[in-house]
Amino acid sequence: MSMPAGTGAAPGKVILFGEHAAVYGQPAIAVPVQQVAARALVRPLFNAPSGRIRIQAPEVGVDTELDQLDGQHPLAAAVRFTLEAMGVQHPLAVTIKVSSTIPVAAGLGSGAAVSVAIARGLSGFLGHPLADEQVSAVAFEVEKIHHGTPSGIDNTVITYNQPVYFIKGQPLQTFRLGAPLNLVIADTGVPSPTKITVGDVRAAWQAEPARYETLFAEIGEITKAARRALEQGDMGTVGELMNQNHALLQQLNVSSPELDALVAAARGAGALGAKLSGGGRGGNLIALAAGDPAALQTALQAAGASATLHTVVA
Ligand code: MEV
């Protein structure tokens, strides 16, 4: 008898509005990015006792028994939280092979996507596919180990794979775009783990709470206005609000000379708006194309972007 393999997949994501302020309860908007993905392929491991799990993630040089990994390791944690959510202690022996085309430490949600792919692939293979809510919760638990104080937006948008209007701790809100969103994503090439910038903003907020809470609230107002503009398909307003959001992220001290230079290049090349996206300091920015995205991509590459990606969010 041959046993079917289980597969789990998850897209990347970008934050359109409200990063960082989301951690403090302000709304944020994120959309999935289908051009990149994480995958987990789960197969039976024959002649091995139940409970044995082999994990392979060639891109990060992992090929080992699960119990050889530190329990805090994101791959180990994703497997453990998945089994806990299923109420299973000694599953059939399996090999889990993880692969991903989502750049790491770039603000595109690679960590959450890998966790979602593992939760789906493993629970599906074991015959009890977890519901989306549980999958999202598994990824959130892993995020907490590595990001300290995540808002939960990354695991939410990646699990549900549709545009989300996210408020920490509140039920999921999705919404419809009034017109397709023509986005160019450009990588500074500077890796920047979200944990660091989120921690820095927290320290700055603790030192000057009133000043930072005002900035978070201003970002929240921009996000609310952006939702209306997105629903109406008013791309001119969306672009203007992106520019305003970027200025506030500069004040939060999470931009960088590389990000600012690429944002300026995007605007100079006719983008309707541009801003950093995700944790900041490095990683990616997003630019809203007015017309031909290829021209915008060329301009961003000429200005030093290490990679660009065009995505249409409908
Ligand atoms: C990361 O994609 C978005 C941040 O707001 C962190 C979070 O919300 O957990 C920077």
Q: Which of 14, 144, 145, 151 to mutate to test the pocket of ligand 1 (most atoms within 8 A of CB)?
A: 151
Sign of CA dihedral 76, 144, 155, 258: negative
pLDDT of residue 1: 41
How far is the centre of ligand 1, averaged over its atoms, from the C-alpha of 89 (Å)?
32
Q: Where are the domains of the chain?
A: 6-174, 181-313
The residue assigned the tokens 């541009």 is 274
Nearest to 230 by CA among 30, 12, 72: 30
Alpha-carbon span 237 to 143, nearest angstrom: 33
**Cα-to-centroid distance, 210 and ligand 1 (Å):** 21
Find out if CATH 1.10.3720.10 is the number for domain 6-174: no
pLDDT score at 3 = 53
Say what the pLDDT of residue 2 is.
Answer: 47
Tens-digit pLDDT string for the chain (314 aa): 445 678 999 999 999 999 999 999 999 999 999 999 999 999 999 888 898 999 999 998 999 999 999 999 999 999 999 999 999 988 899 999 999 999 887 788 999 999 999 999 999 999 999 999 999 999 999 999 987 789 999 999 999 999 999 999 999 999 999 999 999 999 999 988 888 999 999 999 999 999 999 999 999 999 999 999 999 999 999 999 999 999 999 999 999 999 999 999 999 999 999 999 999 999 999 999 998 899 999 999 999 999 999 999 98
Q: Note the CATH architecture for domain 181-313.
A: 2-Layer Sandwich (3.30)
* Ligand 1 site, CB within 6 A: 15, 19-20, 22-23, 107, 147, 150-151, 153-154, 194, 198, 278-279
Residue with tokens 């520019």: 243
Q: For residue 151, how far is its CA from the centre of ligand 1 (angstroms)?
A: 6
